[in-house]
Amino acid sequence: MRRPWILTGTLLVAVAMSDCNCEESLGVAVGQIELTLCDRQPACECTELGSPAVIEFGNPEVGTVARRTVRIQNGNAPRKLVISRIDVGADSEFQVTGIQHRSSGEDDAEVTNHKMADGSLTLENDNLAEIFLTFQPGSTAESSTTLTIVSNSALYDNWEILLRGGGGSAEACVPSGDCGDGSVVDFGTHSDVDIAYDPAVGLPTALDTQMVTVTNQGPHEIFFTAAITVDGIPEVPGEVVGDRAVFFLGDLGCPTLAAGESADIPIEYRPSTAGEHFGKMLIKGVGAPVYIDLEARVTGAHVCLRTEDDLPNDSTLQFGDAPDYRTPSNAEPEIRHVWVQNCGFQEDLVISAAQLGSNTDPDFSSTALPWVQTSPIAPGEEIEVAVALGPVSPQLVGVDGNLELTTNDLRLATAYVHLQGFIGLPEVCYLTASPSPVDFGWVASDDAAQGTCVPPIILPNCARISRMKTVRLINIGERACDNIEVGPVTTLVGTAGMFTMPSTPTPFRLEPGDVSDAIDVLFAMAPQQDPINYSARLEFTSPENAVGTADVLLQAIGGGSPACAVEVSPLSPPTISGDQMCPYKSLKFGGVNYGNTRTLNMQIRNIGSEDCVIDNVRKKQGTADSFSFPTTSFNIAIGASHTIPVSFESPVPSGGLFEDFPFGCVTNGMQFDYASQSTDWATETVPFLALGKPPSIDVIPGEIDFGEVTVGCCSAQRRVSIYNSGITTLDLDGVAVLRGVNFIATSPSSMSIRVSGSSDFMVQFCATAEGEAVDVVEITGHDQEDNEEFITVSLSGTGVLDSQGNDQYRQPSRPMVDVLFVVDDSGSMQGEQDELAANFDAFIGQAVELDTDYHLGVTNTDGETEWAGRLHACTTNAWGKFIVDSQPPAQQETQFSCNVNVSDPADGRPSTDNKESALHAARSAFEYATLEWNEGFYREAAKLYIILVTDEVDQSDGTAALYFDFFQNLKGIGNPDLLNISAITGPPPDGCESSNGAAESNLLDFNAVELAGGQFRSICSADWTDLLDSLGLDVFNARRQFPLSRPATPVTIDVWVCPSTCPEVPSAAAGCTHVQQNGADGWTYDADVNAVTFHGNSLPEAGECVAVSYIAMCYAAGEG
């Protein structure tokens, strides 16, 4: 890309030495070399180099890198300037790290990398060149060498430029006279009466400005930087330093100092409230970094509020619990607390009055009212105020109000706590039966031994066919069910006496979530030649049951001879046209993107009257290698089922003649043999149908396992998104669950999906019986060219009787993280690649300090070729093409420096200048096509951190939501703590400029970072050390969030942390610590992702076990 020539950060050199070199013959006319340095901040003027010329690198810290950039221009265009040699002295701490040729100085100029080993560098017309230089001191002594530039210029044809750095001395001093690291700037003590607003700058008025003086005591020029690293107000999650602040950095001007010169750094103190304020500033470029502490105070009382809810610092007291925060209309008053703290300085906080606001709903009350003035609250102390919500308003309405506190805080004379709640439906007892229906299956023998006559009576009608089943009742409501009665059996015509309860249970009680003992139900009848369907109903009731008397269907097939019979599901019906044409019922995979794999769960159910033996599971002859499944033999009891996962891997096209044809159902499929004690072997054939397709339509997720759901309840709804990354509108024809027995799908949000658009629908699992259930969602559609689309989503879930959730996790002994750098390989990125390499220590230092188990991989921004997502490595280690923590630090740094240099790839991969696609490249790194190349890099249990580094617009097909959805499902919806996306790129809306050039506004990557809650940094940052240090701290920290296996009822969650292993019942006696629900130093529950998050000092330490118990939520169809 082309970049403007207003550069900041590192140093740019351009020399303006004029040599006309004109002769009468144009054939001998040559160019004229000019060198200029313009690589300081905009406040610094450009410097033209003459002869003798010196380039100063200042006094960087030992081990860090200082950079300068020399710009070469041709002052005698259109004559050619031919540069034949550029080098620095051997065995020095100075290096030429890159040379770039630019077609002009325009923003959109063509940029290419140049190696002098490949031949001379020629500049003609408006061409420019840049030489990138680094100085990495190994000691504090002065170092120097010579940069030599040989050209055909008549003047300075062999230009030698002195490069010099280190050996300097500088100090930073504060007004008190103290100097150096740890010095303190004290802004004094002020009064809250002086606090005001300065409209000219849109900030509070500056109560004081202090100067930190930097003096260059060395013999040569230095360049320093200054930044506020702690701004005086603690950051909340998602906030960066400076968003809210009391300490501000003034204008530095040009921070370049000649020998003996001094400069003042202005720091302003702009408080908005009373209190003590502490900050810190950092000065670099003066040798070792200098940290200066900042202190200031404002006398006066200041009120701070904290609330007992999920967001304790937002001045809103929210009643109820996530996700819907509803308080049942028949609930007892719920009491929560507000803590009022004095955050001021040297003055007590007085609450002279407190009341509920005039518009507060009558549901709210407080035992603290009427208010009796408390003793003054000293600075740092707090009091507790109780507020209650007792429902009196109608059901299904929101209630709110305010608790108003009158104080002596001059900035907040009346403090408001917003009260908020919602009155929901009443809690009820709700009985359901499991299984429902009670299916006896095909009964053709006397399984329950009901056909024996009592001796000595022998009658011809003693023969019976029979089967015993059990049913249980579950209370899925929120209140207890008392005096539960079971029976009678209501028979239908022709079924009298067939369905009975051998023993009627006495009335009993079930608490919420409880399951009754098993209740026996018998089906018995006389044998008959032909099997016939029979049914009846078993009633049950409780005075508290929400629906009064309920019943469960009893059904059986009676008669015939014992036999094994199987039913395979989910199979799609025959179709007679289109890509999905198949004359048989078949297991349809639909369209699968090239290089991806889709797995469908195929279930074989025994619908016969004897146990079945399944053997010789095999591929049908001629079935493609793209299909795979386990081939082990197994038995299936009467009425039971067995699930076989069947996978289709869509092959990447290689240009073959018939690659666009479907994998047809006539050729592809599974066969297995089955038999029973009374029947001979038979063979079942299950046809397969699949189609490989270009990646223009994405359905995420491609498979959903709802886990365990209490029988009689439904799961939380899961979102499925259809993304159109193609070039034409996609019209949906239908979205439907194939069998529709246990799974529900809503209609899509839109039946027409524009290019780069999406449509969502929800899927839910409702458990009607114990055991696993499987199905598929079939999505059909067509584009504007009448091309058909058929895509499937695999569904599974397990019905259970128990509503109790018990989850245990172990905090890894070392934090685990996989870090993928996606680095733009265009010619304009050489400087940024050098920045990454040079600041590797700042990034990896956090991992070393936290003893992290890490994998570090690098890929470029290729999203189109077969190289997309493949890790770039100059050296393949024993463990793969990535860096691991066990390598020696020096080896890691060397390898990373080479790996990030994707503009000069070691493996010969093509450049992506035509279409940089950072997000698509990141996705490709984790898809099936790259699994072998990237083997070992990705670990399911590790945090995944993706860092995008580019100065271009991300041209990935699709939206940020598509890629976030992909990565979120890769790590699991309930594991947001295991995923983060950050970007170092051009900030919206206008991009940026730096010494490395200009970067375009990159909205796509910005949106992806916003969705993932990651860190976004401008690629034009003058100093990358703090940037990468901050990213490293974010990446390598221990895990704080733990997903629950079932959606939890928030008020029932109980959390323990145990030293090493979690006992079955955690307790203090077992050495465990009971963790309280607290947003500061405890845990909170995030209903959106169904996870428990630890805060502050409650974070489990390495190797500790986390135990979470709760009652699972019971959703109705369409809820959750």
Q: How many CA atoms lie within 13 A of 516 on its CB side?
A: 29
Do residues 798 and 831 both lie within one domain? no
Task: Specify the pLDDT at position 241.
Answer: 58
Cα gap 272→869, rounded to integer Å: 49
pLDDT above 50 (res 390): yes
Instruction: Assess if residue 14 is contained within a domain.
Output: no
950 near 862, Cβ under 8 Å?
no
Cα gap 856→844, rounded to integer Å: 10
Which of 983, 1017, 1038 finishes a domain? 1038
Do residues 413 and 443 both lie within one domain? no
Instruction: Assess if residue 8 is contained within a domain.
Output: no
pLDDT above 90 (res 208): yes
Task: Specify the pLDDT at position 91.
Answer: 67
Task: Specify the pLDDT at position 1028.
Answer: 62
pLDDT above 50 (res 1091): yes
Which of 994, 1012, 1038 finishes a domain? 1038
What average pLDDT does this structure show over 5-18? 34
CB-neighbour burial class of residue 584 (10 A; exposed 0-12, middle 13-18, buried 19+): middle
Task: Specify the pLDDT at position 27.
Answer: 40
Q: Encode pLDDT of 1015-1041 as tens digits.
A: 888 888 755 655 566 666 566 677 888
Q: Encode pLDDT of 862-885 as tens digits.
A: 887 888 889 988 877 777 789 888
Of the candidates 323, 318, 72, 194, the one whose C-alpha atom is nearest the C-alpha of residue 1049 is: 323
Instruction: For residue 290, give every residue at least 6 positions away whose Cβ sits within 8 Å of its Cβ, in sequence order, or none.
Output: 172, 180, 181, 282, 283, 284
The 8-class DSSP code of residue 1112 comes to B
Pairing verdict, β 1016-1018 and 997-999: unpaired
Do residues 380 and 399 both lie within one domain? yes
pLDDT above 80 (res 493): no
Pairing verdict, β 184-191 and 290-299: parallel
Instruction: Assess if residue 1074 is contained within a domain.
Output: yes
What average pLDDT does this structure show over 1063-1074? 88
966 near 978, Cβ under 8 Å?
no
Choose between 91 and 280: higher pLDDT. 280
Which helix H or strand E contains 88, and what residues bound it? strand 81-88
What average pLDDT does this structure show over 400-424? 94
Task: Specify the pLDDT at position 578.
Answer: 65
Cα gap 159→50, rounded to integer Å: 10
What average pLDDT does this structure show over 665-683? 93
Which amino acid is residue 826, in one-letter code?
Answer: S
Q: How confident is the model at residue 242 (pLDDT cuts 50, 70, 90)?
A: low
Q: How confident is the model at residue 658 (pLDDT cuts 50, 70, 90)?
A: very low
Instruction: Assess if residue 849 is contained within a domain.
Output: yes
Instruction: Assess if residue 73 is contained within a domain.
Output: yes
Do residues 333 and 366 both lie within one domain? yes
Task: Specify the pLDDT at position 7.
Answer: 29
Do residues 921 and 937 both lie within one domain? yes
Residues of the chain with pLDDT > 70, as a percent, come to: 92
Considering 222-231, 423-432, 449-458, the range whose residues carry the highest mean pLDDT is 423-432
Strand partners, 519: 471
Instruction: For residue 454, give every residue at least 6 positions away whose Cβ sits within 8 Å of its Cβ, in sequence order, or none.
Output: none
pLDDT above 70 (res 935): yes
Q: How confident is the model at residue 243 (pLDDT cuts 50, 70, 90)?
A: low
Q: Encode pLDDT of 734-771 as tens digits.
A: 999 998 889 999 999 999 999 888 999 999 999 988 89
Task: Specify the pLDDT at position 1030.
Answer: 63
What average pLDDT does this structure show over 423-443? 92
CB-neighbour burial class of residue 632 (10 A; exposed 0-12, middle 13-18, buried 19+): exposed
Range of the domain at 466: 431-558
Do residues 733 and 763 both lie within one domain? yes
Q: How confident is the model at residue 288 (pLDDT cuts 50, 70, 90)?
A: confident
Which amino acid is residue 988, in one-letter code?
Answer: P
Do residues 43 and 114 both lie within one domain? yes
Do residues 896 and 997 both lie within one domain? yes
Do residues 252 and 365 both lie within one domain? no
Instruction: For residue 230, give every residue at least 6 positions away whose Cβ sits within 8 Å of its Cβ, in sequence order, or none.
Output: 241, 247, 278, 279, 280, 294
On average, the pLDDT of the chain sits at 86
Strand partners, 115: none
- List Cα–Cα distances, 775 to 265, 600, 628, 792, 1005, in angstroms: 68, 9, 19, 10, 36
pLDDT above 60 (res 268): yes
What average pLDDT does this structure show over 263-272? 94
Task: Specify the pLDDT at position 979.
Answer: 87
pLDDT above 80 (res 8): no
- Reduced 3-state DSSP string for 1054-1080: EEEEECCCCCCCCCCCCCCEEECECCC
pLDDT above 50 (res 28): no
Length in residues, the chain? 1120
Do residues 51 and 186 both lie within one domain? no
Task: Specify the pLDDT at position 227.
Answer: 87
pLDDT above 50 (res 396): yes
Task: Specify the pLDDT at position 1029.
Answer: 61
1111 near 1049, Cβ under 8 Å?
yes
What average pLDDT does this structure show over 413-439? 93
Instruction: Assess if residue 1116 is contained within a domain.
Output: no
pLDDT above 70 (res 588): yes
Number of domain units in the chain: 8
Q: Encode pLDDT of 820-844 as tens digits.
A: 999 988 877 777 777 777 777 767 7
Do residues 707 and 684 both lie within one domain? no
Do residues 155 and 45 both lie within one domain? yes
